[in-house]
């Protein structure tokens, strides 16, 4: 039997690859906040969340909030991270924390 988690794994891996390939070809990842690469990564994340039927909101600073309403009797799961990187950051810089929360959807 395929669970939602199992079905979502390839989609998350694809999103991860699409976002890390937004880098400019220099060493490491360079998604500095508010740059075109950061905006493109944010848009990819939002499109993914919408495709997964999550409710999405963005605050005035560009923070993306994604919610999947659950059952009232189940414990809440919350995760957070950042889409921007330090200059020449690693491919998991921030992004792993953002996408890791989808493991429990």
Confidence of residue 104 (pLDDT cuts 50, 70, 90): low
Q: Is pLDDT above 60 for 26?
A: yes
CA quadruple 6, 10, 13, 19: dihedral positive or negative? negative
* 21-25: long-range contacts, CB 8 A cutoff, minimum separation 24: none
- pLDDT for 4 equals 54
The string of pLDDT tens digits covering residues 41-77 is 999 999 999 998 899 999 999 999 998 877 788 787 7
CA–CA separation, 22 vs 20, rounded Å? Answer: 5
Predicted local confidence at residue 101, as pLDDT: 78
Percent of the chain with pLDDT over 90: 53
Q: Which of 105, 84, 104 is nearest to 28 (CA)?
A: 84
When pLDDT is cut at 50, 70 and 90, the band that residue 1 belongs to is very low
Angle, vertex CA 48, rays to CA 88 and CA 46, nearest 5: 70
Q: pTM, whole model, 2 decimals?
A: 0.83
Query: What are the sequence ranges of the domains in the chain?
Result: 4-104
């Amino acid at each position: 039997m395929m669970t939602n988690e199992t079905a979502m794994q390839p989609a998350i891996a694809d999103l991860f690859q699409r976002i890390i390939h937004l880098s400019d070809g220099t060493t490491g990842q360079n998604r500095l906040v508010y740059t075109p690469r950061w905006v493109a990564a944010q848009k990819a994340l939002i499109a993914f969340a919408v495709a997964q039927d999550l409710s999405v909101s963005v605050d005035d600073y560009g923070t993306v909030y994604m919610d999947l309403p659950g059952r009232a009797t189940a414990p809440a799961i919350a995760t957070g991270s950042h889409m921007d990187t330090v200059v020449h950051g690693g491919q998991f810089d921030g992004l792993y924390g953002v996408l890791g929360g989808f493991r429990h959807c």
